[in-house]
Structures are given as structure tokens and as C-alpha cells.
Amino acid sequence: MSARFRSPRRIPAAALAVAVLAVAGLFLYDLAAVRAHRPGMHWRPELVRQLERHTPADPGVLIGGGILAAAGAALLLSAVLPGLRGILPMRAEHPLVRAGLERGAAVQVLRDRAMEVAGVRSVRVSMGRAHVGVRAVSHFRELDDVRADLDAVLAVGIGELGLAHELRPRVRVNRR
């Protein structure tokens, strides 16, 4: 069970999609009936009367518009926010147990491991879905030796994180 953690957005999104599909289908059916020279649905004349009676400045129209705008903004916000992408799935030792590790915690562990390598002055670690990016600054050892030590330390560190999908390290070592 190495599936990625998902935030519970499916139910509101599915409910909204079904509602929009039903309303759009209803309007499309009515439009097709009128274009085929058949009478429109019975609610059409009542809708026209309501639209003649209520102007956009009426309080009910303003409140309804505000509610719809707030609902749209909430849906857009939930679509843009990352949800639970910051949680990395871990290997499942038992089929009924799901574990995850926060991406920031994993970055901190690997950064601490990299700082223990001799000759490393500073390290920046970034973590994506498939790679761990490590940028190290060395100050007194040969760059190839530092890179080899970082590769070894990071391979052990990534293995000890217990993640469901192995991450490949990308190591860069420079001098100031």
C-alpha cells in the first residue's frame, strides 16, 4: 500500500461536478427542445418573470451572488493548495498500517547527515517526488572525495527513512 496520501477533496468536487452536469444537461435539453420548435420546459416562463421582477441590486440576488462567489473561491483555493503532498508515504510492513513522513522532516534528517561529512561547510537539501537535491559547499577536502562521502551517507540516510519509493540523490559540491 504505497499510494500517495490524498486530501479529502473528492466528495465536494464530485458533488459539485454532478450538480453542474445536471443543471447544464437541463438547460441543454431545454435549449434543444426550443430550437426544435417544441415548447420549452414549464419553468422557463416563471424564470423569465422572476428575472423581470428582481434586479441585480436586490438584497436576495446580492446574497445569492456572494454565496456563489464564496463557494467558487473556496473551490479554487482547494484546487490550488497542495493538500497532503508534503507527506511522503513509507513502506508498509503491515497491510493495515499506513505511515507517512513529512517532507520537511526528511529534508532535515538528510541535511543533518550531510553536515556530518568531513569537509562540508554548508548544505542545502531539497526534496521532490523522485529526487533529493543536495548542494554542498566544501572548504578543505577534495571535491570528489566529499561527493563520494556524501553519496554514501545519503544512500544510507535515504534507505533508513523507510520510504515506499526510493529517492535518487543529486549531489553537487562546490567551493566558495
Question: Strand order of the sheet with strand 131-138?
Answer: 120-127, 131-138, 168-174
54-63: long-range pairs with CB below 8 Å, 24+:
none
CA pseudo-torsion sign 22, 23, 25, 29: positive
Is the pTM higher than 0.85? The answer reads no
In angstroms, the first-to-last Cα distance of the chain is 44
Most confident of 15-29, 71-85, 143-157: 143-157
Q: Which residues face 90 on adjacent strands?
A: 163
C-alpha 41/C-alpha 100 separation (Å) is: 53
What does the chain come to in residues? 176
- What is the pLDDT of the chain when averaged over all its residues? 89
Q: What is the mean pLDDT of residues 99-117?
A: 95
Helix 103-115 / helix 143-161 crossing angle, nearest 10 deg: 140
